[in-house]
Structure 1
Amino acid sequence: MSRAPTTGRYVALALTLAVAVMSTACGKGQDAESGDRAPGVTKDTITLGALVDLTAVFAADSKTVVQGAKLYWDTVNKNGGVCGRRIEVDVANHGYDPQKAVSLYRDMSTKVLAMSPVLGSPIVTALKPSFDRDKMLVSAATWTSQVLPDPNFQIAGATYDLETVNAVDWLTREKGLKRGDALGIVYFEGDYGGNSLKGAKHAAGELGLKLSEHRIQPTDTDLSTQVNAMKTAGVKAIVVAAASPQVASVTTVASSIGLDVPVVGNTPSFSPKLLTTPAGPALTKNFYTASSIAPAPSATGDEKRFVAAYRAAHTGEQPTQNGVMYAYAAGRIINETLSKACDDLTREGLQKAFRSLTDLDTGGAVAGTLDYSDPSVPPSRQVFISRAAKDAPGGLTAVGAPFESDLARSYPFGK
């Protein structure tokens, strides 16, 4: 991915990220002549691995994650790299197939210092034993709390269960959901959907809501049966822990049968391309996301310049919340970690540096400040609530400031 020279289209742009300036800090690391270096580290380069889905259900998200990561690291390299070294990223496509991901990782693991990112909850679950064996630091492009308290995982913000807890709390405060009402949830089988369901069950129990649960597969794209069942159950709101095709079906079917209720999705649930389809009007009327990653219109400072550079480099592409914006956030976090580990560029040194981050400000890319000192809990419990907006970059615009509900603050982990 980033082995190719930076293209002139956006090198000329005035994108001087604060993290790029920070990254010029250079310790000696391991002795350049000893040959006793960690995998992926030479005297000139640090190589990261990326496992993404370029051909299956999250292909659109993965494409923009890769584009955003390339732009981020090309800019960092232009400004001196990290620890005096260029950052290179080795990208492989797992096609949302855990078995394929295991095979790809086996080939990649001896050639990279860390993984940034690995996309998909089932992929992370399948590879977890290998990551543990290799003491591999992993930027997880998933927000499942199933990886807690494993110290190898870096999550960019609140987990899916916390997203859902905050979303349900917001629905009670802003959308009239009240004790005794029915709440629908459509969720993927597996860690992603199951983790969101866990949060929904907790919130429903605490708030006195009745839950109408509907488990689906990633291949299910016509959800008429599920939506009609939720209408029969009298739901006053719906949570969707799935991908954009399922969101399109839920909102379109609900609109067609007169189920006029708010629909809230987790971080991976939305693509701005939906707004140009027949689902567009229903989405702009009723669809929201709950995510720790900032929507593009909320970007400020260096992040705002990054968004402008991305749009200039990729005409016609959108700076998506769960793609480009995530890539920027993940880049900020791993950049800070690498910079703190310059004098010990080993996997153990990287882990130590990562857990020393206790008050990391990503410049608004991730809601709140991030505390990675305790691997048993997420680094933040805050989310942005964003609504679908056709004319907004990335198709989403924030509804108010990021927040952490009382229910999320008291939500227990490790049980």
Structure 2
Amino acid sequence: MTTPRAHRSRRPHKATAAALAALLAIAGAAGCSSKAKDKDSGKAGAGGVKTDVGVTDKTIKLGVLTDMTGVYATLGKSVTQAQQLYVKQANAEGGICGRKLELVVRDHGYDPQKAVAGYSELEPDVLGFAQFIGSPFVAAVKQRITTDKALVLPQAWSASLLGSEYIRVLGSTYDIETINAIDFLMKEKGLKKGDKLGHVYFEGDYGENALAGSKYMAEQNGLTVVEQKIKPTDNDMTAQVAALKKAGVKAIVISAGPRQAASLVGVAAATGLTVPIIGNNSAYAPQLLGTQAAPALEKMYYISTPSLPIGDDAEGPSKLAADYAAAYPKDSLDNGVVAGWTAAETFGEALKRACEAKDLTREGVDKALLGIKDWNAGFGVHDFTDPSAPSSLESVIIKPDKAAKGGSSVVREAEISDAAKSFKR
């Protein structure tokens, strides 16, 4: 593929972290991890390739922990179907290392107990995870993942996930993404020193990591952040809009889900709070353009995202959009397709390099990924050589657009702001 134009806090919410820690204990972490260690380790398989968990002479099993029924159901469906498409195409070409890929899918419905239980169930039988939706849930099993050495490529971008070489964030983390978003607001949407900036955010890893980016930009640029913390079950943003309007904010960041973004933008427009609103990549789905909030979304809303959107005319998005539409003609295109495909192709690239080194063990695959630098899956450049850093610091700014394929169009090309370059956690 040709190189396209793009690519892609610090502490979890105490209550969420405590609840997940309790669930982790209930799930029986030590017992589950020991199952993987009891399997044959490093045995030579077909072609003289070493294997251990999740790999036979005929198959390579990868786990998928997704959300098909919860707050990110739209994203989960798109991510999963994109990964199933990758597996279908790879297997049609003979698989990888003479073995067919197999996805083992579990829907956790964005429920902490189901997410942790799903990891416990799948980990002993899969090589790694091509999908794991939910920053708090990945963080809850972070230590186990490091011990199990099962590579995880999450659809989650919290900085709390950095530091383990077995959890690799694809694209910029939420704090960096938010820094780039506010840089856009200041350079192109009139936000300036002395202004108040609203920030509506989910409690927990995702929202609080994004908030860290807002606070950093406020310190650097003389802004005042007006915080509005919400829960994933909060869908009506009327009270938050009223508070932000009273505070006199000149722009708003939202770090939540698509439903919350639609309510926020729709209510803001209806009440005369016509300021630019920008969301993190998880805060938009093109299905919102079928709601009453559509006109306001197209006028007032922007999204900071790690990669080119599915509707871009670059080679990577164009081919994927055509292939996905052919495979799933009844389903709409959205950027979950990009996220899922990028993770699957990244895992596939690591498998191919591990095969060349004749080592398809968990450690062998991780070592292969650590050797990948300046690699492009068609949607942006990634560097996986440093586990303490995300694979990119770039963000693309997009906006809802009914006329565009996939429901969004590019407003600002991939860019790393100076503030993002200088940001230290």
When the two structures are superposed, what TM-score results if normalisation uses the length of structure 1? Answer: 0.89
Greater RCO (CA < 8 Å, at least 6 residues apart): 2
User: Is 1:293 matched up with 2:303?
Assistant: no
CA RMSD in angstroms, aligned pairs only: 2.0
SS at match of 2:97: coil
In the TM superposition, what whole-angstrom CA distance separates every residue of 1:189-223 from its partner, at most 9, and x where no partner exists? Answer: 00000110011100111111111100000000111
Report whether the alignment pairs 1:269 with 2:312. Answer: no
Q: Give the deviation of 1:17 after TM superposition.
A: 12
Aligned residue in 1 for 2:80: 66
1:358, distance to aligned residue in structure 2 (A): 1.7
3-state SS of paired residue (2:214): helix
- 1:12 maps to none
Q: Could you list the structure 1 runs, at least 4 aligned residues long, displaced by more than 6 angstroms after superposition.
A: 33-36
Structure 1 partner of 2:400: 388
Counterpart code for 2:262: A
Name the SS of the counterpart of 1:46 in structure 2. strand
| Percent of residue pairs bearing the same amino acid type | 42
Q: Residues 174, 84 of structure 1: CA spacing in aligned structure 2 closer, same or farther, 3 A cutoff?
A: same
1:104 to 103, 107, 118: 118
Q: 1:166: how far off?
A: 0.3
Are 2:152 and 1:142 aligned? no
How far, CA to CA, are the matches of 2:54 and 2:253 in structure 1?
Answer: 41
CA distance in 2, matches of 1:35, 1:261: 58
- Counterpart amino acid of 1:45? T
Secondary structure at the counterpart of residue 377 of structure 2: coil
Deviation at 1:316, TM superposition (A): 3.7
Stretch moving more, 175-184 or 128-137? 128-137
Partner of 1:192: 206
Selected match of 1:349 from 364, 372, 378? 364
Preserved CA contact (<8 Å) 1:184 1:211 = yes
Q: Does the CA contact (< 8 Å) of 1:297 and 1:398 recur in 2?
A: no
- Offset at 1:80? 2.0
Deviations, residues 340-398 of structure 1 (Å, cap 9, x unaligned): 101100011011111111211222x13xx211111111121001000110122221111
Contact 2:51 2:359 in 1 (8 A): no
Is 1:360 aligned with 2:360? no
Partner of 1:221: 235
TM-aligned CA deviation for residue 129 of structure 1: 2.3
Task: Specify the alignment match of 2:295 in structure 1.
Answer: 281
- Matching residue of 1:339: 352
Q: In the alignment, residue 390 of structure 1 is paired with which amino acid?
A: K
Q: Distance in 1 between matches of 2:307 and 2:342?
A: 8
Amino acid at match of 1:348: E
Question: What is the identity, as a one-letter code, of the residue corresponding to 2:354?
Answer: A
Kindly provide the CA deviation profile for residues 296-335 of structure 1, in whole angstroms up to 9, marking residues without a partner as x.
12252244222112112222422211x1111111122111
Alignment match, 1:168: 182
Letter in 2 for 1:357: I
After superposition, the C-alpha distances for 1:260-294 in whole angstroms (9 at most, x for unaligned) are 11111111111111111101011010111101122
Tell me if 1:377 matches 2:389: yes
* Partner Cα separation in structure 1 for residue 47 and residue 303 of structure 2: 51
Higher alpha-carbon deviation: 388-397 or 157-166: 388-397
Distance in 2, matches of 1:310 and 1:248, equals 26
Distance in 1, Cα, partners of 2:339 & 2:370: 20
Structure 1 distance, partners of 2:261, 2:195, is 22
Q: Is the 8 A contact 1:29 1:345 kept in 2?
A: no
Q: How many residues align?
A: 385
Which AA in structure 1 matches 2:374?
D
Match of 1:4 in 2: none
Q: Is the 8 A contact 2:50 2:359 kept in 1?
A: no
The match for 1:80 is 94
Give ranges in structure 1 of 5+ residues lacking alignment. Answer: 1-15, 19-27
